Structure 1
């Protein structure tokens, strides 16, 4: 008999249909107005050939090959072992490395989205386990928004993510705004997701409400489809990586025409005079006017001038997407977008001003936040060392090297044991051939994985873990005012165990099992965290008890209302009474603190720096196409690339690459052909889609295709499947943030021809049983 059970994922809530313990299908939740197609595709992956069913150890590591300088990771066979032996090997390595090299030699900065669930947070479980065992080297910031996270606290103050409650929500924009200018666009596909879970998708309908209310949209992006068709957005196809120059040209036009909000800049901002001198060319003799910006950005001078006029005449919102800051000098478009909004006159007025990351997930701009929800308790890390998240390859290749980071000098530690749980570094890191070389450096790499993806194939010890369908929990999404029950839909595949059970057994072997589990079972932990949340929220939330919550399948949380700390409306009304948490108490158009760092790639005010790779540079002579490696529509990052929806999007088994028809014709590329995308860092195969939704000179190859090197272990070898990070540069945004610069990459494309190599991304490695 079929049973129907709620399922919570990062891409929404669904209903799982199970028959005699077998997952039959996954259906959208009936009250979700815009369900993601990723959910039903999960069925395909649940029991596919790529599932890791038993603990496995790399053959060379198990046979005792030298553990430093061994080059076989990624190419070696594996040997399946029992859980007792596997846990003994992991526990023994943790003891050995800590005793010989110290706790900082253990890297626990495991990064990734993992799966939804308040208790079964992969990183939370890992870091609690490692902290109780003595500590670990951690990572800081995210691949998504590292530049933003570092620069915004200097500019507007507060926690790096506090801006999300300080910017106008979509319903405010619909009621009060007249114009939205979106740098980097508002790709609706990105709003499928929400970290932690999502009850129902609301971004599409909220955007439609804005358009129905008469709000006009301008999409400043190299990709026309970065706004939904129903928005009827004006498209300004900007040369990638030149958003800062476009904003400077608009700002110069405002300034010289006297259109800027002088009162707000004088009362609520600091350092505008220094920035104005730069705009006018006082610092370098180059006025940053619309003509100057047009030469750099490829935009029409009249379009820039007209946009300056419209931003100041109408209640407007300047939006900037996360993508524009994942580039050389990625701090600059974020900083400059705040300054542009401050100049335009709508900052701090209802429905107007500035915001970042709209439509990046179904949370930003939807609600300003949600009440706190209990999760696996964190333990203070005894090791103070950390690395910027995108500098993992540098750390492995160059231990002892010092780097700048946000006014500090960091010494990169020597990492001997890498413990990765709930993420896929061979998806999100740049220049995968360089990462593969760096990944050979540590003595041991331990990975928890449900599937034989690239990270598992590059590990020494692989421990099979249960998926979100195979354990009990409850979900609470970012800013989503709803809790969703997560019953165990099916038994774990093979010998898979939950992350918590693995760490609990390891902690018991290492002498701190009780401290880790607090003598609770997993089910007791989930109930405890829910009841802890219920108690903390009190009568206002009126949450049912846990058993009733599970019967209902979920429960709403009370919405948060403002005013929120650091609000721009309060700043505009009375900056003395409501200062921002910045050194001046105001928006820092010029930051004396950043200026004091003396960085040659990040001055004290927004500045145009020529990217290392862009269509206006010398390198474009060799590689004349700019690669946009944006987020995919068919999966979450690399999650469920083996799911049905992602597999259906492939072209002859390869990730699709979108090429403008003019560029395709010049290269003899037909629609649906398999092409080689390459530069001097690497190359990959992809399936061509010809479309004028990308501007000439630009190709789009989304991230997340599992890396499939033609000759594993050979640096520079062709990727059969279409992972763009064989092409991107492992180069920091700047010395301020050390964030990734994936969107500063140039490539060339050519037809591949026949025969085509088979795609092996979803095949397990050679396994000896």
Structure 2
């Protein structure tokens, strides 16, 4: 602070590895991409048919005009089609706060309005979210409950990292994180004598300081590699039969598959080598080493982001069970250590509160990655986790928080689907592609412009998120916007409960105080906490390995599976009759991988990872993110040999393309990738060169114009972006400028034209 005004952000002194992402965001709070007034699409105001969302100019309006129109449309859709025609879109972005959490706010509002069609899962680990409970009865070990770094260091002798543990991902965490422990946790394991194996097409998915061996397998072939390891353990008698007998069911059926007794194909290292291109001798040696050392299998969430993405989870659990280390310090498995910042932290001792969302009377839902399918196929069906779901006929999308034109796959297909609803309402702070594809845009504040509480299930801190600035222009908090709408719709008291922002923060903090007092850790009064900035709780439960209690007594601590045991074979999944996800782990080649016939036409495998300089697409317009874009375009990393074969040099503008779309990127040559693999970060704001054309060239470098919009399998229907083949060529001709961070065209219309609605 200087003269009572904020001038910059500094790292939290208690954080051993603070992320630099947020430190200069303050300077970009008022960029040209900021939305400061309500806007309505001109075509929507004029009721023009055939216009393309995302291509029309916008008309600025006052708040009363915008909110009256939204309220009228919600009322009309409810009356004519029912609440099952409203989709409540939100991915939970825009704030780490417990109160100003866009997803909670809009879902609470829509529940007060009579309900909405919702989505389940997330794009990060949707396949795991469904399959892991079938195998171990819970999502612990996937979302929470991981073996902490303190128990891995000194106990783990060998850490085998499928997908690596990329530290770029550990900067961020849902709800925020006060202590970034992953870098130090990994180094502590190294200092204590652990060795590391990085199984990934990308070398720097493991930090250089770990000295990890790099096994650069073909993308999407991790399951084949694990099967080859399992075959060695079986053939050499190196698996823990006592553990399998006492703690698991279904191993014999899996064993028949691995040995070839079931299908005549033995899944030995030679079989696995042909698929993965890891030498058979190295696969055999790794299997023996894993059986001789206390081995921890760490798997990145991202492995599920591919066709048949359920299988890496199931196979990793099975392999860990064969090694027998589950439930022991330093052994077993864990998912997501390289996927979010708080994983591996000792969890806080109490459950943090959140804004109550109420009850949704509408029972219809979709898997999160099936939104385009839903919009394109009203009345159609989709199989999901043993159910047959019917897609609703959506007439109104209400979106607050998140950016589907970043995180969804095959964005040209999504654009076509997005044209079908009659109304799209978006609350946003920036002119993202989602805001540009709205009919009504309501400007929302950022976390700099409101007060909140931040705390995470993977952290011991509760932090005061202080308002530093007044909102620019006419921007309002999500809560204020939805409160004004609820007044128009007749349920303001139910939505607000008569509480202001400050009242809600004190209400939430009171719950935290009560929880802390119950475990003998009194917290300071709210005003004292608010002035100090944070409070810290001490864990009250001793650190324990994941599934340690189950290992100690599998009867008293039975799992939530039908058998109460680890289900290497699941009769429940088997009963669904899914050929793409049978009742035990298996290998199926995806439609797009380097061994597919399509690779003759598109010979490069695209990996689209999380970015190092932003969270998903949030604040992509900020300087720290833009500094990573040579010439203003997202880079595509490619092996020098692949570049040389195409006449491409460092920094060249290239066209990356396949049958779904094409984009421009800046070539970044690196031998940190295996040949035939290219890598792009997600999150570049979608920027079609001609908004009137669906399917034209994207000029900023959003890889999701290329990724397939198919489900992982009929079990989970998760996203499959990392099963993606492309070709790259040097771009020839005038290079179109990037316009992603410029506001759309804004026009005025006459009063008569405005009354056309």
1:725-744 Cα shifts (integer Å, max 9, x gaps): 00000010000001000000
For residues 367-400 of structure 1, give each alpha carbon's deviation from its aligned partner in whole angstroms, at most 9, with x where no partner exists. Answer: 2455212221120101011011000000000000
Distance in 2 (alpha carbons) for counterparts of 1:228 and 1:184:
12
Taking the aligned partners of 2:92 and 2:620, their CA distance within structure 1 comes to 15
Residue 57 of structure 2 is aligned with which of 71, 77, 82? 77
Q: Partner of 1:405 in structure 2?
A: 384
Cα deviation, 1:573-629, whole Å, max 9, x if unaligned, reads 332232111111110000000000000100010000110100001000000000000
By how many angstroms is 1:417 displaced?
0.3
Mapped to 1, the partners of 2:22 and 2:557 lie a distance apart of: 45
- 1:10 paired residue number: none
Q: What CA RMSD, in Å, does the superposition of the two structures yield over aligned residues?
A: 1.4
In 2, are the aligned partners of 1:164 and 1:368 still within 8 Å (CA)? no
Q: TM-score, normalised by structure 2?
A: 0.97
Q: CA deviation at 1:631?
A: 0.4
Give me the whole-angstrom Cα distance separating, in 2, the residues matched to 1:172 and 1:631: 28
How far residue 51 of structure 1 moved from its aligned partner, in angstroms, is 0.3
Distance in 2 separating the partners of 1:765 and 1:474: 34
- Cα 1:629–1:107, aligned 2, differ >3 Å: closer, same or farther? same
CA contact (8 A) 1:348 1:572 kept: yes
Question: 113, 129, 139: which is aligned to 2:109?
Answer: 129
Q: Where does residue 424 of structure 2 map in the other structure?
A: 445
Question: In structure 2, do the counterparts of structure 1 residues 391 and 164 end up closer, same or farther at CA, with 3 Å as the change threshold?
Answer: closer
SS of the equivalent of 2:8 reads: strand
User: SS state of the match for residue 242, structure 2?
Assistant: helix
Pick aligned residue for 2:91 from 101, 111, 124: 111
Provide the rounded CA distance (Å) in 2 between the counterparts of 1:318 and 1:741: 23
| Aligned partner (choices 86, 90, 101) of residue 70 of structure 2 | 90
Identify the match of residue 146 of structure 1 among 126, 148, 171.
126
Structure 1: distance between partners of 2:348 and 2:709: 34
Preserved contact between residue 187 and residue 360 of structure 1 (Cα < 8 Å): yes
- Contact 2:460 / 2:536 at 8 angstroms: preserved in 1? yes
Structure 2: which 5+ residue stretches go unaligned?
749-757
The residue aligned with 2:255 is: 276
731 and 275 in structure 1: CA distance in 2 versus 1, 3 angstrom threshold: same
Mapped contact 2:326–2:546 kept (Cα < 8 A): no
- Distance in 2 of aligned mates of 1:567 and 1:237: 29
**Pair 161,510 (structure 1): closer, same or farther in 2 beyond 3 Å:** farther
Instruction: State whether residues 94 and 446 of structure 2, in contact with CA within 8 Å, keep that contact through their aligned partners in structure 1.
Output: no
Is residue 687–residue 698 contact of structure 2 (8 Å, CA) maintained in 1? yes
Structure 1 stretches of 5 or more lacking a match? 4-17
2:737 aligned with 1:758, yes or no? yes
- Which residue of structure 1 lines up, in the alignment, with residue 755 of structure 2? none
Which of 21, 28, 34 does residue 51 from structure 1 map onto?
34
The separation in 1 between residues aligned to 2:645 and 2:530, in whole angstroms, is: 59
Alpha-carbon distance in 1 for matches of 2:284, 2:294:
17
1:182 aligns with 2:165: no
Equivalent in the alignment of 2:504: 525
Structure 1 partner of 2:289: 310
Tell me how far apart the structure 1 counterparts of residues 89 and 630 of structure 2 sit (CA, whole Å): 35
1:16-35 pair list within 5 angstroms: 19=5, 24-35=7-18
By how many angstroms is 1:169 displaced? 1.4
1:692 and 2:675 are equivalent in the alignment: no
Deviation at 1:168, TM superposition (A): 1.9
- Note the C-alpha offset of 1:329: 0.2
Aligned to 1:12: none
1:632 aligns with 2:611: yes
CA distance in 1, matches of 2:174, 2:142: 17
SS at match of 2:201: coil
Partner Cα separation in structure 2 for residue 591 and residue 200 of structure 1:
38
- 1:560 Cα deviation after fit: 5.0
Aligned to 1:319: 298
**CA-to-aligned-CA distance 1:286-309 (integer Å, 9 cap, x gap):** 000110000000111111111111
Aligned to 2:754: none
Could you list the runs of 4 or more consecutive aligned residues of structure 1 that deviate by over 6 angstroms after TM superposition? none
Cα distance between partner residues in 1 of 2:523 and 2:446: 27
The C-alpha deviation readout for 1:514-564, integer Å capped at 9, x for no partner, is 111111111111111111221232152321111000111100023252688
Instruction: Name the CA shift for 1:760/1:505 in 2 (closer, same or farther; >3 Å).
Output: same
SS at match of 1:626: strand
Q: Is the 8 A contact 1:38 1:643 kept in 2?
A: no
> Which SS does the other structure have where 1:211 is aligned?
helix
How many angstroms apart in 2 are the aligned matches of 1:493 and 1:375? 27
Inter-partner Cα distance in structure 2 for 1:344 and 1:308: 10
CA 1:586–1:317 in structure 2 vs 1: closer, same or farther (change >3 Å)? same
Aligned counterpart, 2:183? 204
Equivalence for 1:665: 644
Report if aligned partners of 1:370, 1:479 keep a CA contact under 8 Å in 2. Answer: no
What is aligned with 2:315? 336
Q: Deviations over 1:230-258 (max 9, x none)?
A: 10000000100000000000001101100
- Which shifted more, 758-767 or 29-38? 29-38
Q: Is the 8 A contact 2:599 2:725 kept in 1?
A: yes
Write the distance in 1 (CA, Å) between the matches of 2:284 and 2:578. Answer: 32
| Residues 184 and 324, structure 1, Cα contact 8 Å, conserved in 2 | yes
How far 1:36 sits from its partner (Å)? 1.4
The answer on whether the counterparts of 1:117 and 1:474 sit within 8 Å (CA) in structure 2 is yes
Flag the 1:91–1:738 CA change in 2: closer, same or farther, 3 A: same
Query: Does the alignment pair 1:248 with 2:227?
Result: yes
The alpha carbon displacement at 1:165 in A equals 4.5
Q: Distance in 2 between matches of 1:72 and 1:165?
A: 43
Q: How does 1:561-710 map to 2 (within 5 A)?
A: 561=541, 568-710=547-689
The secondary structure found in structure 1 opposite 2:504 is helix
DSSP-derived class of the 1:404 partner: strand
Q: 1:296 aligns with which of 275, 300, 309?
A: 275
* Pairing 1:413-428 to 2, within 5 Å after superposition: 413-428=392-407
1:428-577 → structure 2 map (5 Å cutoff): 428-538=407-517, 540-559=520-539, 561=541, 568-577=547-556
CA distance in 2, matches of 1:588, 1:528: 43
**Closer, same or farther in 2 for the Cα pair 1:379/1:346, shift >3 Å?**
same
CA deviations 1:99-133 (Å, max 9, x no partner) are 00001101014224321111111010100100011
The DSSP-based 3-state class of the residue aligned with 1:79 is strand
What is the distance in 2 between the residues matched to 1:532 and 1:267? 42
Stretch deviating more after TM superposition (676-685 or 525-534) = 525-534
Report the Cα distance in structure 1 between the residues aligned to 2:296 and 2:173, rounded to whole angstroms. Answer: 23
CA distance in 2 between partners of 1:370 and 1:631 (Å) = 30
Q: Determine the structure 1 residue equivalent to 2:2.
A: 2
Q: CA deviation at 1:443?
A: 0.6
Matches within 5 A, 1:712-751: 712-751=691-730
Q: Secondary structure at the match of 2:321?
A: helix
Deviation at 1:161, TM superposition (A): 4.4
Shift of 1:33: 2.4
1:304 alignment partner, SS class? helix
